[in-house]
Structure 1
Amino acid sequence: MRARTAGRSPWAAGAVVVAGRGPVVAVEEAMGWAVGYASYDETTGRGVELPPGDRVPATPATPFDLASLTKLFTTVAAVQQLERGTLGVDARVGTYLPEFRAAAEHGITVRQLLTHTSGLRPELPLYECASDASRLALLRAEAPTARPGTARRYSDLNMLLLQHLLERVTGRTLDGLVRDGITRPLGMTATGFGPCPGAAATEDQRRPWAKADRGMLRGEVHDENAWALGGVAGHAGLFATARDLAVFCRTLLSGGSYGAARILGPGFVELMFTPPGLGFLLDRPRFMGELAGRGAAGHTGFTGTSLVLDPATDTFLVLLANAVHPRRRPVPDHGPRAAAATRLARAVRGS
């Protein structure tokens, strides 16, 4: 995989790759630019490159907008509550959130949120609402478009409901749960919800290709709904370095422990990896390349992020990129993700 070096490769301005097996980090490489463009020129259809002296190179220490990789942290926070017995995996959402009347009326369960089988559509235009109250009312009234439990349909709304559920049963905000339950005990000091001023830039976010007019973004969450919700959302909002995500991956591959820290018991980590999986995408192998299969699990993020865990070989791959800098694509390109995963798979097989 090759990242853009200001004006070349079509996939990303910059990227960081970290890969490892067991306790060994075998690859840690940064390429391209964390910040390479001043704006996007819709007339020419090209990014307006910054002068060479103003560009910021990507390094292994560069934080990236994780986008939907945030869902994995929300999932772990939920599974922690399963382990503590404060949440039931097959309990109905309405038991905890009766005011979410549509979810309550249709009997949506916690498991269905975690497995994307709730029947909820992918997203709602919360960014168009005038107030927090109107956003909350819209979410509470949203009914599934398919009977819950009958089909898998990936949806940001699942994680937004899960966020409200977690905050209700714990009395704490999601950012606090992630910080105190995951990142702080694991020493992931470069991971947290924004703003994150030193992060890689993302998009010159403007209509009509985007859903809001915010200009070139750096350190502010790219996802419009997460932005409308104040930057802390169950489906998006976290920033992290690849080094920190390597720790997260090692923790899950080691049954929930890293060094002296334990964030989950092995049985609950296994629950996350067992089909259909909790939080992880086990049925979308394209981005996993030849790591797919044999129990491998992973997730992607819209901004160009992904991670893959292969318990069978104790292998992990983290790829962070700003593929939406300076502008998003209408259709995500999994080619570079798959290529990186395939190279790792072949290296492991040949070892």
Structure 2
Amino acid sequence: MPSLEDRRGRGGSGQLSAPRLRNDTPERAGLDPEELRLLVRDVHDLTTGEPPWAPGAVVVAGRGPVIAVEEAAGWAVRYARHNPETGRGVELPRLARVPMTVDTPFDLASLTKLFTSVAAVQQIERGTLGIDARVGAYLPDFRAVREYGITVRQLLTHTSGLPPELPLYDCPDDTARLEMLRGEAPVREPGSSYLYSDLNMLILQHLLERLTGRTLDVLVHDGITRPLGMTSTRFDPCPGAAATEDQRRPWAKVDRGMLRGVVHDENAWALGGVAGHAGLFSTGRDLAVFCRTLLAGGSYGPARVLGPDFVELMLTPPGLGFAVDQPWFMGELAGRGAAGHTGFTGTSLVLDPATDTFLVLLTNRVHPHRGVPDSRPRAGAATRVGRAVRGA
């Protein structure tokens, strides 16, 4: 069980500190070793069917400053292409495949939204951005956003009413893409209901870049990943990453072939790989640091990326950037304020402030072909972690 000093984040001198993650036993983390053994078994099982749920996976789970599980399974690269006639992947010879390791980077897809959201809340904390300010005050050239009075909070909570996406990948150039984004009107009354939309984070990206004079990749690097020591987290490209899709029409929106180390999302690709909604690559270990930082109130080691009040603001329902208490991917961790997100490529993370636990599950589920959405394995993994917490 973590010591009282570990759980509170206090050193022997009584000064506030934020212990770094360390690998240790489930018992030292206050977690049931049998449930975590079953978690590891379940993750390996995901990669062994014919076809597997995902060719490869990495799982990292822990409590407090202790990583109790860090495991890789399956293949980072297994297939040469997708065969639409058989509906199956064409496998590479075994010696040509690339095994998954705990250090393999993954295309995070929509987990990128969490980093864009943190970058925005950093500006809110500094007083340079108003959470209930109208976006049009910062981006007057974004006509529809200005006309409908969409606010920063509505972008962060997906209540702007903007449609889920736009075919920016079909535009001939950046000028046309920007013009399409500037003119897109809400399909619902802003503030009236939840409608998940990539456009929220794309517009937030433009706001942040206009406000700070720095590009999003620089904001994320300088404000989040560099101070936290997340050296394996970066925007596209990322050589050595797990492969994703054999991206071809009609199942995809563009024809790009087998993707590895370049962003899967078609709009993020069209935007040059740096986008508010997708484009980041990272590893399980780096994302565990990100989770631990938020669970510790915004600090990790000597670094502080947010104050505790602003972390609480992000994780309190309905969540800013984060989804809160969603059983469809959080399983039995949902219900007490667990927060997290999923990514289309097969990625997810969940952190539970009530029990000081976290789970990172990264897979290349779309390799070699996107299939029917299925988050039951994500929910199952989170349930294993929830059941592993002793005395919760």
C-alpha displacement at 1:177, in angstroms?
Answer: 0.2
Residue pairs, 1:79-90, within 5 angstroms:
79-90=121-132
Q: Could you say which residue in structure 2 is the equivalent of 1:27?
A: 69
C-alpha displacement at 1:332, in angstroms?
Answer: 1.4
- Residue 200 (structure 1) aligned with residue 220 (structure 2): no
Q: Could you say which residue in structure 2 is the equivalent of 1:119?
A: 161
CA distance in 1, matches of 2:132, 2:257: 43
Amino acid at match of 2:171: C
Misfit runs of 4+, over 3 Å: none
CA distance in 1, matches of 2:167, 2:124: 31
| TM-score scaled by length of structure 2 | 0.88
CA distance in 2, matches of 1:127, 1:83: 34
Amino acid at match of 1:322: N
Question: How much is the aligned-residue C-alpha RMSD, in angstroms?
Answer: 1.0
Q: Could you say which residue in structure 2 is the equivalent of 1:319?
A: 361
CA distance in 2, matches of 1:271, 1:323: 32
Q: Could you say which residue in structure 2 is the equivalent of 1:48?
A: 90
CA distance in 1, matches of 2:150, 2:327: 27
- Residue 92 (structure 1) aligned with residue 134 (structure 2): yes
CA distance in 1, matches of 2:54, 2:103: 17
2:205·2:276 contact (CA, 8 Å) conserved in 1?
Answer: yes
SS in 2 for 1:11: coil
1:64·1:239 contact (CA, 8 Å) conserved in 2?
Answer: yes
- Residue 338 (structure 1) aligned with residue 390 (structure 2): no
Q: Could you say which residue in structure 2 is the equivalent of 1:4?
A: 47
Q: Could you say which residue in structure 1 is the equivalent of 2:388?
A: 347
CA distance in 2, matches of 1:293, 1:283: 5
How many matched pairs?
349
2:165·2:199 contact (CA, 8 Å) conserved in 1?
Answer: yes
- Residue 63 (structure 1) aligned with residue 105 (structure 2): yes
C-alpha displacement at 1:285, in angstroms?
Answer: 2.4
CA distance in 2, matches of 1:258, 1:327: 37
5+ residue gaps, structure 2, are: 1-41
Amino acid at match of 1:226: A
- Residue 173 (structure 1) aligned with residue 248 (structure 2): no
CA distance in 1, matches of 2:86, 2:158: 39
- Residue 268 (structure 1) aligned with residue 306 (structure 2): no
CA distance in 1, matches of 2:232, 2:140: 36
2:325·2:335 contact (CA, 8 Å) conserved in 1?
Answer: no
1:271·1:278 contact (CA, 8 Å) conserved in 2?
Answer: yes
CA distance in 2, matches of 1:259, 1:196: 27
CA distance in 2, matches of 1:263, 1:183: 9
- Residue 230 (structure 1) aligned with residue 272 (structure 2): yes
CA distance in 2, matches of 1:143, 1:50: 46
Q: Which has the larger radius of gyration?
A: 2
C-alpha displacement at 1:283, in angstroms?
Answer: 5.3
Amino acid at match of 2:82: Y
C-alpha displacement at 1:11, in angstroms?
Answer: 1.2
C-alpha displacement at 1:143, in angstroms?
Answer: 0.3
Q: Could you say which residue in structure 1 is the equivalent of 2:228?
A: 186
Residue pairs, 1:213-228, within 5 angstroms:
213-228=255-270
5+ residue gaps, structure 1, are: none
1:298·1:306 contact (CA, 8 Å) conserved in 2?
Answer: yes
CA distance in 2, matches of 1:66, 1:327: 16
| TM-score scaled by length of structure 1 | 0.98
CA distance in 1, matches of 2:113, 2:198: 9
> Percent identity between the aligned chains?
79
Q: Could you say which residue in structure 1 is the equivalent of 2:329?
A: 287
SS in 2 for 1:34: strand
2:109·2:277 contact (CA, 8 Å) conserved in 1?
Answer: yes
C-alpha displacement at 1:94, in angstroms?
Answer: 0.2
CA distance in 2, matches of 1:35, 1:53: 11
